[in-house]
Amino acid sequence: MRLNPLALLIACCLPLTGADDPAAATLVEPDGKTKEVFVLSETVDAVAFVFPDAKGQPGGAESSTPRKTLKEVRYKEPSDVNWLKAEANHRAGQHEKAAASYLAASTESRFAWVREQSFLNAGRSYFLLKKYDEALQVVARLESTCPKSVHLPAAYDLRVQASLDKGDKPALEAAVATLTKRLGELGPRSLATLTRAEAALRRLDKKPAEAAAKIKEGLAKLTVEAAPEQYGELMQLLAEDQRAARQDAEALATLRRLIFMPVDADIQANAHLEVAKVLGERSELKDLAQAFDHAVLAWAVGRDGRLRASAIGQARLVVGKLEKDARYDKDAAFTEEVKEYRANLNNFN
């Protein structure tokens, strides 16, 4: 029987060279206070660590703390050759090489956090290469060999996205079953992932109203403070499903709520852009004026170049529609206002 080299590389989450080395790290608490320690292990449940001794080495008292009491565990950059090669290849966009080096680091590093992070990063590299089967395989190995890994929420998120992009409904259903079973230990990010996956299954069945209802159900259990990125993404999907279900008023209300939430700037910008598209389909001057304003706000708030270009494109569509209106050149007040929009738009050229 021919052995799968990928399966051999990621056969276990333990280093090939023996026991773990304590990893130098900074524990960051929610109030910003920090502790310099050496981490022995980090799981979804707890972080075990030792304090430095008088020489700054890992020889002080041992301790542990529940993982949920920490905002972040910030590790010092390791000197592992495979990790450094993988990171350099990733930055250069050489994802095939990055995946190979991450997989090597996942077995050879003496730091548990490097091995587990390398599993996840290898899966992401395969995802970027659209090698979804390989991405799903890496996630499955991380889950089976490191069942308490702190990276499981991100890995399950990758599992759902890879299943969706692959168009593999059974894989998506399996992900939903796993997330449902383990939700209690994984936290708000995984609740958001589960909600997205459940809504996606309804979307695949061409039931956007049911997808929207499923997202509303998930949002009711989340707070934007607990998972701002995931909350914002779910709100975006909710608006899309509402529009697909011809619930335009509800979609507009969802987007307007999203605009004022403490979420990523590009998510806010995209909400402005979607409002501009909805209002841009109308014919009343007040609606089109608001559509123009929201398009400009999307350009101003957004950071992504393509999003900002789409925003200005939408503003041009609105102005073009106003200039084709029957009132143009006949109603002096209307014409003057439209010319003002055209002048403002020209400032973005």
Q: How far, in Å, CA of 286 to CA of 21, rounded?
A: 65
Q: Rounded mean pLDDT of 203-218?
A: 97
3 state SS for 250-263: HHHHHHHHHHCCCC
Using DSSP bridges, classify how beta strands 62-66 and 72-75 pair: parallel, antiparallel or unpaired: unpaired
- The residue count of the chain comes to 349
Q: What's residue 349's pLDDT?
A: 58
What is the chain's alpha carbon radius of gyration, rounded to the nearest angstrom?
A: 25
**DSSP labels for 217-269?**
HHHTT--TTTSHHHHHHHHHHHHHHHHHTT-HHHHHHHHHHHHTSS--HHHHH
Q: What is the pLDDT of residue 11?
A: 39
pLDDT band for position 20 (50/70/90)? confident
Amino acid residing at 247 = Q
Return the axis-axis angle of helices 81-91 and 95-108, rounded to nearest 10°.
160
For the chain, give every domain's residue range.
Answer: 1-150, 264-349
Nearest to 63, CA basis, from 42, 49, 44, 47: 49
Q: Above 70 in pLDDT, residue 14? A: no
As to burial, measured by CB atoms within 10 angstroms (0-12 exposed, 13-18 middle, 19+ buried), residue 99 is buried
pLDDT at 168 over 80: yes
Distance, CA of 140 to CA of 147 (rounded, Å): 10
pLDDT tens column, 263-293: 999 999 999 999 999 999 998 989 999 999 9
Instruction: Tell whether the model's pLDDT for residue 53 goes beyond 80.
Output: yes
Which tokens hold the place of 159? 């599992």
Which pLDDT value is given to residue 93?
A: 97
Tokens of 272: 């402005």
Residue type, 111: F
Average pLDDT, the chain: 92
Fold of 1-150: SH3 type barrels. (2.30.30)
